[in-house]
Structure 1
Amino acid sequence: MFKRIRSKIGLKLMTIFSLALVLSVVLLVYGGKWLTTELENFYASENETLIKNQAYIFLSRLTQEKAMGYEAVFQKVAASSALVAKQAGFFLDHFDLYGKKHLNPSEKLVVYPPNGIFSNDSFGVTMVMYWGGAAISPEIKEELNALSHTDPLLMEVQKSHPECAASYIVTESGIRRYFPNTHAVTRLPTSEEYDMRHAGFYSIVKPENNPARKTVWTNVYRDDARHGLTITASTPVYGEMGQYLGAAGVDMTLEYILDDILGNRRLNLPLPKGWRRDLTDNLFSFIIDHTGRIIAFPSEYLKIFGLEMDMDKLVNAGVVLEYRLSDSSDAEVKKIGENILRRDFQNARFLSDGHPYMIFSHPMPSTGWHLGVVAPESVILTSLEGTL
């Protein structure tokens, strides 16, 4: 009897022990899998954050490199403008020597009756005009002769910079020497109606407006010589005694930049190992000036920035000079636009129709412009799938 009871108790204990053991194994296996899953999720999350940050750093550097690429072009053009101004000042300072003989003796200026402006013919290498008086005095003749010696440099500047449309000199006495020769005299009104000494490129470098005597960039304008949207690097011309003699200008068309921003949106740049080309294939760029006015922006993306396109104000596809980021209906975009203008660089995230976008910007000091690069956040994550 006693043995039977003891046997039953032993059996129950063994059963309980076995169940406990099985349960422990089940819990251990489940707990191990749960822990493994949690660790994998944690690792993936941390890795995704790390890779995402690396992508942001890459895009920031990409934006900086593109901005500095444009900046290098601006600096080269500005240096050429300064060189033309320096040479013009030298020849005008020594017109007693260089004014005795013209570099091109066959050049002759005759008055164009409809506007009273003196001009050479359309076969000359450079275009020359004089509107400072009713006749060409001996002093003006010497000044014209002296300035003719700048022709080789004017030609070299325009030819060495494919993005430049023209290089020229305008003097206080009313002389304009311009390469290439567009024979613009036939399209100009009288000097009473339009005097080039009142033009923007000339006014901004006059002593009262530019006491530092630096090269200054104009705002964007539509060039009357049919070069399209243009910006000018203008430098004052001074004599050895400090007298203001005029201005030298180099016109740079925006075609080079606009083609890059609007026509060639794919950025075929080397990517870190494992990153998919989607990242650069889906980026787009834009440029704003120092006031926030849009210089270039792909028109199909305006809606993302909360900008309603008015076709009457659109200069051409993607060039929207009548818009600013402050015109956006999106408060986030307005704030980002303000921050871009206030800071040397800006990385920001914003939502458009519930979709997140990242924007990266960097300034171009010469002009005060800012380059922006925009990427959908979903594309950033998708392009990094191979690294996670």
Structure 2
Amino acid sequence: MNESPSQIGLRQWIWRGFMQSALIPLVLVETILIACYLLTNQAIRESQVDYLERSAVDSLAATAEQNSRIIRDQLTHIAGVTQLFADMTAHALLGAAASSDETLRSTPEGALFSEKDTGGAASFYSSITPADKRDLVKVGKLSTLDPLMRGLKEREPMIASVYFNSWDSYNRIYPWIQTNAQYPSNIAIPSYNFYYLADAEHNPTRGVRWTDVYLDPAGHGWMMSAIAPVYRQDFLEGVVGVDITVGDLLKDISTLKVPWGGYLILVSDDMKIMVLSPEAEHDFDVHALSLPATSNLSSGGEVKAEGLDLKKARDTRELAAALAQHPRGSSEIVLRGRTHLISWAEVQPAGWRLLAVADEEDVMAATNSLASHYRNIGYLMIAGLVMFYLAFFTYMWVRARKLSHSLRRPIRDIGAMLGEIGNGQWFPVRARSTIHELDEMAGSVLAMGAQLSFSEIRRNNAQSRLNLVVESVTAGLWEYRLDTDCLSLSEEFCKRFGVPATLLERPRFYEHVDREDVSALDLALEALRSGSASVIDLELRLLRPDGSSIWFLCRGRLIDAPDQKVSLAAGTFVDIDTLKQVEEDLRRRTLEAQGVSKAKSRFISSMSHELRTPLNSIHGFAQLLRLQTTDDQEDAKSLDEILAASQHLAHLVDDLLDWSSLQAETPRLQMRVLEVNGLMRECAEMVRSQAEAAGLDLQLQITSPALSVLADARRLRQILLNLLSNAIKYNRPHGRLLMGAVLGGEGRVELFVEDGGAGISAELQGALFEPFQRLGQENTAIQGTGIGLALCRELATLMNGSMGLVSESGVGSRFWVDLPEGNSAPAVRKRLLSLCFVGNDEATLRCLEHSLAGLVQLSHGLLSHCLAQLQSDTAPDIMLIDCDALGDDLVDALYALRRVAGGDQIPLILLCTSPRMIATLGCEFQAVLKQPLEPNELRELIHAMLQVEKPNV
């Protein structure tokens, strides 16, 4: 049992209505708007962050590139000065010997050195060179370079020292230093990178080379040198060098301004930090490099800087790898837990990397502050909205209480009015209300009471009339008492059939029922008594007093008694005798119409052979005569007329048979999935010669990907060939001729044929698909029957499709066929038509294989083999019969072939040495060829037969 829904008061109902229809949607809309505001603010912030990040990277990259270019220009200038010094040194060594007031002392180990500073350069001759091998003349020549060396040092602040190193371990350096304290006595100068980097092996171009950063032995701190070779012809006399201090070269780097409070860092080519600012010391967790005041050269051959190695620090390993791989670039790195943006550029020719670094939080500070401000605004809006709706809900609750009180009293009074009307008091006291709608409702209740009073009067009158109508429409009423098994009939019915107007026992009532219908009535009444049925509905014949019968429809049902015990059934007798007579007359006429239809079908079927046989004989005999006649003879034109007329009559017979077969019975269709492109190509090849003869170019609109339809292949080919034939016949020379397919909606495919003919006016298009309707073309030279389009529409309907056209006068027409799309579109290969050769002549068989290769699928054998194929599903499409091989049995064989089911549908080509005799056989065939076989003539005949669709009657 269904539970009654929970009830609520009017006040709660009004409050829920406010909540559901107004308050909740309003809160939802406001919430969505605030959410949109916050999301938009976040999206704008993210866009600004992306833009500022790109701008910061671009700005840092520009800063690094600009400062690296400044350093590169300074190094290039020093390289030029070094080359000048090398050229002047070579010139001095080639000049005459010069006197020198320089005094050289010897160390205990045997090395020579200048003892005191006389304002010139310092000299040192290593003890590794024997005393008798030392070239003191060279020392005198090099002393002439002191003014040049002093000038270079004074005019270039970055230059720390200028020197010359010879192949025999002689060193001359300005400004003067205590060489015996700085250099080992047995120093082999050519083994140091100050020398060998410029020799012929390492510097074949004899240009200026740069050393790595190193710690200066003379105590000038971190240095690098520009060195250049000095040759006397091809002999390397030595190497000149210009030392520059890294600190002087890069002293302005730490003071350069980088956007967003950033800074610059200089890194060597082996990824060691050379210069960094105090801010960078904190971020990279290092202190400024402290350099020793002095340092002696060791006995090794190379001196390197030992700053902070980026490759060894955990946070900077990836950065070091990027710096080593790319001379320019940008990246992000986390230093001390904060993300930093880094851009770098290469400093040539030293191979250093100049890094511009900025803290990402400093870059995004303004944007983050603005986003926080707008986010706080959003929070304030949410708080304000909550306060507003608390006050608004309180106000709405008070209004709901007042509104419910204003509605409750008049609704209660209106309910009381309805209760009085339900008790039969049609005119109760009217309720009053200040609400216009409720007052109108009270008036409507009064009007309803008045209407019910009037309706009650009309119901009583209608009941009286209904009783009269029932007695007039039915022949009688009956009641069946189940407990006593007796029937009672209406008075008029008893008078009509001479039945006593009293309770009748069932057997006595059966005396007035036709003997053939008693058993059915008895079964129906027994079903009522047993409870297996509750209604009765049967036709029976009752007997008049004169013994004649009349048909009645007896209907009735069980009637429930107030105590729920079934004891009575009631119903009516309806006179259906006239209806039965009409039904019998209709059945008789239907049988007569079916007989006429069968007679028509038999007549058409028999006439098909009677018409085809003489037509084929006429056509074949005319072909034979035409083959023996040239185009310039007088009989040629008459024979062409006979051929055209016979072909037209054959088409007319085929169309009539097709139409009649469709009207007689629904043909059996073999529905399968067909690939549209292959089918269109096949049809196009069949009519292409016909189109070319009419001066038309048939175009195909191939679909990609390939489409497929669910249809009968033969019937769909018949429709397309008919549409193509019409498009060719009713076209204009050089007009449009197009066939294609498009994918429609809801799984449908539309195949169409367009022509550029005269078109069809709108008022004539409605009659276009009627049979035997040619729209005024009956008296023209264009042949036709007017059945083709009607037949095509019938076939399309049978394949669950539809057909129609779109045409415009003077432009052309587009006929379309709409079919269901296939479930799949397999790549269907075009099927070759099969041709069976009945005969065993080897020469003819070889000619067929050679001339029909690729056009048909060839098979051969005896006539019995072909008859066996006809009885199976592998019947050939065309048969070529060697009449000479059959001999006198030819006529019997042809008649036997045509009598087999389906044999009258196969085109026959007869082959014999005497074609003139074949025309007198009286058997149906399509063409005759003469032995020996001409290949070109056979191919033309096969092409012509492929263009004609075979009938299926």
Q: What is the TM-score with the length of structure 2 in the denominator?
A: 0.32
Aligned to 1:350: 333
Shift of 1:21: 8.9
Aligned to 1:251: 243
Shift of 1:184: 2.0
Shift of 1:209: 2.4
State the distance in 2 between where 1:338 and 1:374 align. 17
Shift of 1:383: 5.9
Shift of 1:57: 0.6
Match of 1:334 among 282, 296, 317: 317
Kindly, what percent of the aligned residue pairs are identical? 20
State the distance in 2 between where 1:60 and 1:48 align. 18
Aligned to 1:154: 149
Call closer, same or farther: CA 1:110–1:140 in 2, change over 3 Å. closer
1:48 is aligned to 2:33: no
State the distance in 1 between where 2:57 and 2:209 align. 34
Shift of 1:286: 2.8
Aligned to 1:380: 363
Do the aligned residues in 2 keep the contact of 1:237 with 1:247 (CA within 8 Å)?
yes
Map Cα deviations across residues 113-159 of structure 1 (whole Å, 9 max, x no partner).
Answer: 4343143631132223344442587x641x33432333233222222
Aligned to 1:11: none
State the distance in 2 between where 1:72 and 1:168 align. 23
Map Cα deviations across residues 268-304 of structure 1 (whole Å, 9 max, x no partner).
Answer: 36x6xxxxxxx12xx2433332222333456885685
State the distance in 1 between where 2:28 and 2:140 align. 100
Call closer, same or farther: CA 1:39–1:125 in 2, change over 3 Å. same
Do the aligned residues in 1 keep the contact of 2:107 with 2:180 (CA within 8 Å)?
no
Call closer, same or farther: CA 1:385–1:77 in 2, change over 3 Å. farther
Aligned partner of 1:175: which letter? Y
Question: What aligned pairs does 1:23-172 form with structure 2 within 5 A after superposition?
Answer: 38-92=39-93, 94-95=94-95, 99-100=96-97, 102=98, 105=99, 107-114=101-108, 115-119=110-114, 121-131=116-126, 132-134=129-131, 140-141=136-137, 143-172=138-167
Map Cα deviations across residues 54-106 of structure 1 (whole Å, 9 max, x no partner).
Answer: 121111111122222222222222221122112212222x32xxx24x3xx55
Call closer, same or farther: CA 1:322–1:24 in 2, change over 3 Å. closer
Do the aligned residues in 1 keep the contact of 2:122 with 2:172 (CA within 8 Å)?
yes
Q: Does the residue aligned with 1:124 lie in a helix, a strand or coil?
A: coil
Do the aligned residues in 1 keep the contact of 2:256 with 2:264 (CA within 8 Å)?
no
Aligned to 2:605: none
State the distance in 1 between where 2:367 and 2:62 align. 17
**Gaps spanning 5+ residues in structure 2: where?**
1-16, 293-303, 372-953
Aligned partner of 2:142: which letter? L
Aligned partner of 2:327: which letter? D
Do the aligned residues in 2 keep the contact of 1:228 with 1:253 (CA within 8 Å)?
yes
Match of 2:266 among 284, 287, 290: 287
Aligned partner of 2:213: which letter? V
Call closer, same or farther: CA 1:223–1:49 in 2, change over 3 Å. same
State the distance in 2 between where 1:268 and 1:242 align. 50
Do the aligned residues in 1 keep the contact of 2:342 with 2:358 (CA within 8 Å)?
yes
Q: Does the residue aligned with 1:232 lie in a helix, a strand or coil?
A: strand
Do the aligned residues in 2 keep the contact of 1:294 with 1:323 (CA within 8 Å)?
yes
Map Cα deviations across residues 159-189 of structure 1 (whole Å, 9 max, x no partner).
Answer: 2221221011122244332211224235443
Q: Does the residue aligned with 2:364 lie in a helix, a strand or coil?
A: helix
Do the aligned residues in 2 keep the contact of 1:107 with 1:120 (CA within 8 Å)?
no
1:325 is aligned to 2:310: yes
Aligned to 1:7: none
Do the aligned residues in 1 keep the contact of 2:100 with 2:140 (CA within 8 Å)?
no
Q: Does the residue aligned with 1:152 lie in a helix, a strand or coil?
A: helix
Aligned to 1:200: 193
State the distance in 2 between where 1:158 and 1:125 align. 12
Call closer, same or farther: CA 1:259–1:118 in 2, change over 3 Å. closer
Call closer, same or farther: CA 1:46–1:383 in 2, change over 3 Å. closer
State the distance in 2 between where 1:316 and 1:300 align. 20
Do the aligned residues in 1 keep the contact of 2:230 with 2:239 (CA within 8 Å)?
yes
State the distance in 2 between where 1:89 and 1:381 align. 59
Do the aligned residues in 2 keep the contact of 1:169 with 1:249 (CA within 8 Å)?
yes
Call closer, same or farther: CA 1:31–1:294 in 2, change over 3 Å. closer
Do the aligned residues in 1 keep the contact of 2:214 with 2:305 (CA within 8 Å)?
no
Q: Count how many residue pairs are aligned between Structure 1 and Structure 2.
A: 343
Call closer, same or farther: CA 1:362–1:147 in 2, change over 3 Å. same
1:226 is aligned to 2:227: no
State the distance in 2 between where 1:162 and 1:341 align. 31
Aligned partner of 1:72: which letter? D
Do the aligned residues in 2 keep the contact of 1:295 with 1:321 (CA within 8 Å)?
no
Call closer, same or farther: CA 1:361–1:123 in 2, change over 3 Å. same
Question: What aligned pairs does 1:257-296 form with structure 2 within 5 A after superposition?
Answer: 259-260=251-252, 264=254, 266-268=255-257, 279-280=260-261, 283-296=262-275
State the distance in 2 between where 1:186 and 1:39 align. 74
CA RMSD of aligned residues (A): 3.8
Do the aligned residues in 2 keep the contact of 1:118 with 1:130 (CA within 8 Å)?
yes
Map Cα deviations across residues 335-379 of structure 1 (whole Å, 9 max, x no partner).
Answer: 221111110112111334542122222211211111223222111
**Gaps spanning 5+ residues in structure 1: where?**
1-15, 272-278
Do the aligned residues in 2 keep the contact of 1:108 with 1:120 (CA within 8 Å)?
no
Call closer, same or farther: CA 1:351–1:108 in 2, change over 3 Å. closer
Do the aligned residues in 2 keep the contact of 1:91 with 1:149 (CA within 8 Å)?
yes
Do the aligned residues in 1 keep the contact of 2:48 with 2:367 (CA within 8 Å)?
no
Call closer, same or farther: CA 1:320–1:148 in 2, change over 3 Å. closer
1:367 is aligned to 2:350: yes
Aligned partner of 1:170: which letter? N
Call closer, same or farther: CA 1:289–1:302 in 2, change over 3 Å. same
Do the aligned residues in 1 keep the contact of 2:271 with 2:310 (CA within 8 Å)?
yes
State the distance in 1 between where 2:325 and 2:117 align. 48
State the distance in 1 between where 2:35 and 2:270 align. 56
Call closer, same or farther: CA 1:383–1:84 in 2, change over 3 Å. farther
Call closer, same or farther: CA 1:304–1:183 in 2, change over 3 Å. closer
Q: Does the residue aligned with 2:220 lie in a helix, a strand or coil?
A: coil
Q: Does the residue aligned with 2:85 lie in a helix, a strand or coil?
A: helix
Do the aligned residues in 1 keep the contact of 2:92 with 2:144 (CA within 8 Å)?
yes
1:177 is aligned to 2:160: no
Do the aligned residues in 1 keep the contact of 2:332 with 2:342 (CA within 8 Å)?
yes
State the distance in 1 between where 2:67 and 2:214 align. 23
Aligned partner of 1:348: which letter? S
Do the aligned residues in 1 keep the contact of 2:45 with 2:368 (CA within 8 Å)?
no
Call closer, same or farther: CA 1:258–1:364 in 2, change over 3 Å. closer
